[in-house]
């Protein structure tokens, strides 16, 4: 690699975000300008590069909140960055499909992680359901692809629970479908037009995750995911049992969680305060 002869363009002017919101490290030069991907209540997510122009990364930046006391603000930000990084590192080490942690600066409020190719399940699922409707296919038929996807989701969530992590915000927007790596297609098709539900499930956004092996916490994770399916893809709701079946086989103790899930369904996510 040689030193670039032409200094890169100033980055600030090329991004869609305001300069004030750009973390300091993103104001230093890079071959391609950082791109704001999404913005939540707590954090901004940029696509950028780490170390080399050829290594894409996701940079999660938690800007300081002006309405919080400065000392508290710094402490909360540090705590959350580190908590998320620890959970990701633990998952990765135990073989749960999550983005790898590249670097972090808890004082400056950023976390740099592996860039995951593909698209979130919410988008793919909506596209699939739309296409099916257009084709006039009856609901309840030709659903192998969807059944298979639900199974993969159940297994991935189960694997995460099995290593002692609960996600805290399981929605179809926090599940990625990453194209199968070459050589591990194991019979999955990937021709164009077909297979939009294909790919490896990768769990993302561990901003609300915690280390827990409590059945209650696990059941709430599943409940939140069920409700997410119910509200964003009502036509896929009937296949939730496929997900739970796969979940049930994914780790020792999963069946206890499924029992607990029935209780949670009866009363909702929040535990009764009446004892």
Partner 1 sequence: MALLQTVQLEHLPQSHSIHIALYRNLQNAAFLQQQLLEGNTDYEYALIDASVIVSKIHALAAVYRAVNDLLANRLRSRNVHSEIVFSLSPNNNISESFRRFGIQPTTTSLLLIKVSTPTSETSPSDLSSRLSTQIQGDAVPFTDEEIGTMTDLGRVRKIYKLNVPGGGGKKKDGNTAEERREMEMLILGAMALRGATN
Rank residues 41 and 184 by Cβ distance to partner 1 and give the closer one: 184
Helix (H) or strand (E) holding 248: helix 240-248
Candidate segments 48-56, 117-125, 134-142, 240-248, binder of partner 1 by CB under 8 A: 48-56
The footprint of partner 1 on residues 88-147 (CB under 8 A) is: 88-89, 92-96, 100-108, 114
Report 16-45 residues binding partner 1 (CB under 8 A). 25-26, 28-31
Contact criterion met (CB below 8 Å) for 87 and 210: yes
Q: Are 189 and 140 in contact (CB under 8 A)?
A: no
CA distances from 204 to 21, 151, 183 (A): 23, 18, 24
Shortest reach from residue 219's CB to partner 1, in Å: 24
Nearer to partner 1, 207 or 226 (CB): 207
User: What is the number of residues in the chain?
Assistant: 275
Active site amino acids: 169
Of 110 and 128, the one with the shorter C-beta distance to partner 1 is 110
Q: How far apart are CA 192 and CA 181, in angstroms?
A: 16
When asked if residue 46 is in the footprint of partner 1 (CB under 8 A), the reply is no
Residue 106 in tokens? 């808890």
Radius of gyration of the chain (CA): 20
By CB under 8 A, name the binding residues for partner 1. 1-4, 7, 25-26, 28-31, 48-53, 55, 75, 78-79, 82, 85-86, 88-89, 92-96, 100-108, 114, 163, 181
């Amino acid at each position: 690699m040689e030193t670039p002869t032409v200094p890169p363009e100033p980055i600030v002017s090329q991004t869609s975000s305001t300069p004030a919101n750009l973390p300091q490290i993103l104001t230093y030069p890079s071959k391609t300008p950082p791109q704001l991907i999404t913005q939540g209540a707590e954090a901004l997510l940029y696509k950028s590069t780490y170390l080399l122009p050829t290594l894409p990364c996701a940079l999660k930046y938690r800007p300081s909140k002006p309405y919080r006391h400065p000392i508290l603000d710094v402490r909360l930000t540090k705590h959350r960055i580190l908590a998320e990084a620890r959970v990701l590192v633990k998952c990765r080490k135990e073989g749960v499909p999550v983005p790898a942690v590249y670097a972090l600066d808890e004082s400056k409020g950023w976390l740099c992680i592996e860039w995951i190719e593909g698209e979130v399940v919410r988008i793919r699922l909506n596209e699939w359901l739309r296409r099916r409707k257009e084709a006039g296919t009856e609901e309840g038929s030709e659903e192998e692809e969807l059944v298979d996807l639900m199974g993969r989701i159940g297994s991935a969530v189960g694997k995460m629970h099995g290593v002692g992590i609960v996600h805290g915000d399981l929605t179809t927007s926090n599940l990625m479908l990453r194209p199968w790596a070459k050589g591990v297609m194991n019979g999955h098709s990937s021709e164009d037009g077909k297979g939009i539900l294909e790919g490896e499930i990768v769990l993302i956004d561990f901003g609300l995750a915690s280390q827990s092996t409590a059945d209650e916490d696990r059941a709430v994770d599943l409940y939140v995911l069920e409700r997410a399916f119910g509200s964003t893809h009502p036509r896929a709701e009937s296949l939730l049992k496929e997900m739970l079946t796969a979940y049930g086989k994914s780790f020792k103790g999963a069946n206890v969680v499924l029992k607990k899930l029935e209780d949670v369904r009866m009363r909702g996510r929040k535990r009764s305060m009446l004892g």
